[in-house]
Amino acid sequence: MIFVIEHLEPELFDWCKLEYKHISSVVGKDNLLFTNIDDDFLKNIGKVNRKSVLDLNLQNACILDPEAEEEFTPEVAKQFDYVIFGGILGAYPPKKRTAEELSNHLQVPKFNLGKEQMSTDTAVIVTKLICDGKKLSELKFQDGIEIDIAEGESVQLPYKYLILNGRPMLPDGLVEMLKEQEEF
């Protein structure tokens, strides 16, 4: 399976870089394609195409969208060569950008990983586990996390997180980045 990330943020923010690095470390750079962007950082962690996935006409592709009706399962995964994601930072409440900017314009099947919003890295890694044979119902999740960034101060991340080894899975460096941002 090739994991395609259509970058849809106006810049390659540090937060996006951490998520994309996390994705690459799990799916491998040869199985990862970033579209709608041309950037040297990304060329080190995956393939890059400056064209939008909307113009690539990928064959045997599907898209993951929280608004889709049908769930992505190991059986579904076997039918496809490409799975497309929005490279979109989470927003609360969710803005339906995946549907509005991607899936409404692509003539490919759409699937969900449940209705709750995950970060792009969580969604890709959960999809990879499903491609490897796990069912969504066999995975553990937590809705929302709170990260302590300074004495008496915390940040709420109101998304759905995969529990791995008993803890919510986050990209390496995210907690440190949030703490540093607080210092400015």
Ligand X SMILES: C[S@@+](CC[C@H](N)C(=O)[O-])C[C@H]1O[C@@H](n2cnc3c(N)ncnc32)[C@H](O)[C@@H]1O
- Which residue ranges make up the site for ligand X (CB under 6 A)? 64-66, 85-86, 88, 90-91, 94-98, 112-114, 116-120, 123
In the complex, which residue's CB is closest to ligand X? 86
Report the nearest approach of ligand X to the CB of residue 178 (Å). Answer: 17
Is the CB of 109 or the CB of 114 nearer to ligand X?
114
- Furthest C-alpha separation in the chain: 51
Report the nearest approach of ligand X to the CB of residue 150 (Å). Answer: 25
Report the nearest approach of ligand X to the CB of residue 133 (Å). Answer: 19
Report the nearest approach of ligand X to the CB of residue 147 (Å). Answer: 17
Q: Kindly write down the DSSP assignment for every residue of the chain, as one continuous string.
A: -EEEEEE-SSS--HHHHHHHHHHHHHH-GGGEEEES---HHHHTTSEEESS-GGGT--SSEEEE-TT-SSBP-HHHHTT-SEEEEEE----SS---HIIIIIGGG--S-EEBS-SS---HHHHHHHHHHHHTT--GGGS-EEEEEEEEEETTEEEEEEEEEEEETTEE---TTHHHHHHHHHH-
Is the CB of 11 or the CB of 183 nearer to ligand X?
11
Is the CB of 40 or the CB of 69 nearer to ligand X?
69
Report the nearest approach of ligand X to the CB of residue 70 (Å). Answer: 11
> In degrees rounded to 5, what are phi and psi of residue 119?
-65, 160
Is the CB of 113 or the CB of 149 nearer to ligand X?
113
Is the CB of 39 or the CB of 116 nearer to ligand X?
116
